[in-house]
Structure 1
Amino acid sequence: MCSLEKRGNIFILTLTGPGEHRLNPTLLDAISAALSRVRAESSMSSALITTAEGKFFSNGYDLAWASASGGVFLDRLKLMSSKLRSLVADLISLPMPTIAAISGHCSAAAAILALSHDYVLMRNDRGFIYMSELDIELKIPDWFVALIRSKIGAPRSQRELMLRAAKLTAHDALNWGIIDSAHDSTEETVKAAIRLGEVLVGRKWDGHVYAQIRMRMLADVFDKIGCDESVGEVCHTRSRL
């Protein structure tokens, strides 16, 4: 479901295959395992790039899987949330710079995964970034809001994502200060991410110091990750999922 390649001191984690890369427990576990490898194999100065194959970077939580067993929908949604929280905590504490190279559509929980990286690059010719919760009648968990606020400073940009459920192209997301740069294709986006990674690795920062600073910057996100009361609460019904 994902692959991990090392080019010098740069790790490239790719969600593989042509599908939607829905964040079900199997994929989340695979990404977490890849991050464990990154920790084990990293040098003092490394960088991580996360990208994906196909039309989608990721279309968020696997709601079809969550709905497959009738009454356990909320339990399954809570399981995916728990695993994503753990994954985001791993990214925040990872001892190296992290870069998301968004290769296509990036929705809901996947947007949170992307924003958990230090830098976000996006292809400009296809795909959008989109917080879909308002449209599918799910409340946005407190820790999602904390992360968005920490990464996107302008209240109007936060509003576009969360209170308008805007489907933002790379051009729009760049103008709203949600991503760092836009590029012509997946290939160009990944190339730009590698160039950025090489610059960051070239600074030869101590990865553990880097991680400690990031963790202090995002301390409020860590606090919210520990208490996710609103996960799975549905505004009306889940029949439209």
Structure 2
Amino acid sequence: MRKVTDELPHNRRPALRSDAQDNRARILAAARALFAADGLRVSMREVARHAGVGPATLYRRFPTKQALVDAAFANERRACHAIVDEGRAEAETDPWRGLCLVIEKVCEVNALNHGFTEAFLFAHPDSPEFIASRTYTVNAIAGLARRAKEAGRLRADFVLDDLLIMLMANQGIRAASPADRVAASRRFAALIIQAIQASGERSPLPPAPRLATAALLKNQKL
């Protein structure tokens, strides 16, 4: 038999008690931090331990790992939508700049959150939330790429698979601090942009973060 609350619209269901709300907030905060740092290999038990709640409490709020991932990355999905919308707006006057803006900002989001990149690209093919987000983002980028090609700024042999390669490579960035990851991601994005542009123009690269140790760089001229 279904509970009465299961039959009520979402906006008419009883609000969570304050302690339940606190538990949910702690779980989401823990999941976001762990997924961002270590990707989706983090277990539900680790999330519960990091949040300071028992496994039963975690599963009461999020019955499956997919449900937890969907909730944990809601902000990142919205950020991706905002980025492609900004790129589309920029493309009204400069399609190439609109595409570049999306590449730069998506790389930065992904560099700061390894778990989101993993979930977005591979891990949750059956999640309605990620399916909708992928479809929206990919369609927007495809449109920007088409317009940039028509403007003669994007190389003619660029395909969307190149974007997948870019995101996979960007996901591998490792650095001691979030600031260094962002700096490395910006430089990587600049290199990618120069590689896919149709013309021979070359803009200066952003500063390179010091990712290697001094010993590795000793006696190197580059």
> TM exceeds 0.5?
no
Higher helix share: 2
Whose Rg is larger? 2
TM-score, length-normalised on structure 1? 0.30
TM-score, length-normalised on structure 2? 0.31
Higher strand share: 1
